[in-house]
Amino acid sequence: MSLASGHPYLAIPGPSVMPDAVLRAMHRASPNIYEGELIGMTIGLLPDLRRVARTRHLVAIYIANGHGAWEAALANTVAPGDTVLALATGRFGHGWAKMAGDLGATVEMVDFGKQSPADPARIEAALRADTGHRIKAVLATHVDTSTGILSDMKAVRAAIDAAGHPALLMADCIASLGCDRLEMDAWGIDVAVTASQKGLMTPPGLGFVLFNDRAAAVRAGLDRVSPYWDWTRRADPEFYYEYFGGTAPTHHLYGLRAALDLIHAEGIEAVWARHDTLARAIWAAADVWGEAGALRLNVADPAHRSRAVTSLSLPAPKATELRAWVAANAGVTLGIGLGMAEAADPAWHGYFRIGHMGHVNAHMVLGMLGAIEAGLAALDIAHQAGGISAAAQVIGAA
Ligand SMILES: *Cc1c(COP(=O)(O)O)cnc(C)c1O
């Protein structure tokens, strides 16, 4: 007997669950890339992408994953020898900072650890200390997918302004877009970096860089930008063939069209509210389980937790055993504890993550939580029973 047969739930924080509508939209013959339907459809994606990020500014699309979008954003704003202030709340913040360094930037790092959000006071102090305004950009992670920490981008902007500093605010919104509330323009984000395979529910392979006029002016001031990453022509529909620096990512574009239709049919506010309720249901279950035993949410204060991904600890090797059990017995794949400990360290087996981003609803979350509770019981892992009831109450009250 296998209780895992049936529809699987890939509950890792990206790639996320793909809607049938996205898969169907991609199941087609190759379209002509020079004329016809694809051209108008691609141009029509841009306003709908802007609406998800709440911006009226430009968007460049790259055939790349999130790492490619990181590099694209840096290539257009930071020259070798420039300084950036990198804020880290987990592995992804360190990763983007390392990339900036590898591209020749001088990186000043403010590390907030693995359980706390970016602290505006420390950011303001670091910028005030930069009296010569050498820092060109602040690299922030809206949601760090390794830790599940949500940082307040509006507060980061306020810290930059309070210091009277001209640095750009560049935000990694790869995990947050379409899941956690994101208001690019209202919060003063100059450059937002994102990708297709998380809240946008489309296969990995599209990276997006949204940028405002301040960022465009910085790009215009650079002597040389790697031609493939240069956003100037990519963000201008006049140069359609250059939009993708070559052949368009045809099927991804159809998939993205279907995903954006789903998001806007539901309404972005409703999408955020759904993610909020589902996340609170997960946290309620984890809180109850943790009343007896050692299971813990990584981020203590719900205000600093993402609605897209939750990171949890369970003493090694139990987290790994639990992941293996729910995959084998319930058809649910949970995420590894990325960046919480090194893979060679036995403590690595003491963390796991739940992806609850994108095409996820109440019955999937209740089923996934039920699978975890069954696994806790099957593996004799100490926990307080009743997590599922707590989650159901959150959903019932929504
Ligand atoms: C997923 C993710 C990335 C990396 O994206 P890839 O598509 O895997 O390159 C970077 N930052 C954050 C916050 C992410 O969630």
**Contacts made by residues 226-230, CB under 8 angstroms, sequence distance 24+:** 226/75, 229/62, 229/71, 229/72, 229/75, 229/76, 230/75, 230/76
d(CA 123, CA 6): 49
**Contacts made by residues 341-348, CB under 8 angstroms, sequence distance 24+:** 346/316, 346/317, 347/316, 348/316, 348/320
* Distance from residue 109's CA to the centre of ligand 1 (Å): 19
Q: pLDDT-derived band of residue 239, with 50, 70 and 90 as boundaries?
A: low
Tens digits of residue pLDDT in 281-300: 999 999 999 999 999 999 99
Question: Which of 71, 114, 143, 145 to mutate for ligand 1's pocket (most ligand atoms within 8 Å of CB)?
Answer: 145
* Least confident stretch, 212-226, 323-337, 338-352: 338-352
* Distance from residue 342's CA to the centre of ligand 1 (Å): 18
Q: Is the CB of 115 under 6 A from ligand 1?
A: no
Q: What pLDDT, on a 0 to 100 scale, did the predictor assign at position 275? A: 98
* Distance from residue 132's CA to the centre of ligand 1 (Å): 33
Q: Is the CB of 204 under 6 A from ligand 1?
A: yes
Ligand 1 atom closest to Cα of residue 195: 7
Over residues 143-172, mean pLDDT: 98
% of the chain surpassing 90 pLDDT: 93
Q: pLDDT-derived band of residue 237, with 50, 70 and 90 as boundaries?
A: low
pTM over 0.95: yes
Q: Whose CA is nearest to atom 4 of ligand 1?
A: 66
Q: pLDDT-derived band of residue 240, with 50, 70 and 90 as boundaries?
A: low
Which run of H or E residues covers position 110?
Answer: strand 106-111
% of the chain surpassing 70 pLDDT: 98
Over residues 32-41, mean pLDDT: 91
Amino acid letter, residue 115: Q
Q: Does residue 241 surpass a pLDDT of 80?
A: no
Q: Is 5 exposed, middle or buried (0-12, 13-18, 19+ CB in 10 A)?
A: exposed
Over residues 223-246, mean pLDDT: 83
Tens digits of residue pLDDT in 247-278: 999 999 999 999 999 999 999 999 999 999 99
Q: What pLDDT, on a 0 to 100 scale, did the predictor assign at position 70? A: 98
Q: Is the CB of 249 under 6 A from ligand 1?
A: no
Give the Å distances, CA to CA, from 33 to 240, 244, 247, 255. Answer: 10, 11, 7, 16
Over residues 187-216, mean pLDDT: 98
Q: Does residue 238 surpass a pLDDT of 80?
A: no
**Which letter does DSSP use for residue 304 in this model?**
G
d(CA 274, CA 187): 22
Q: Does residue 105 surpass a pLDDT of 90?
A: yes
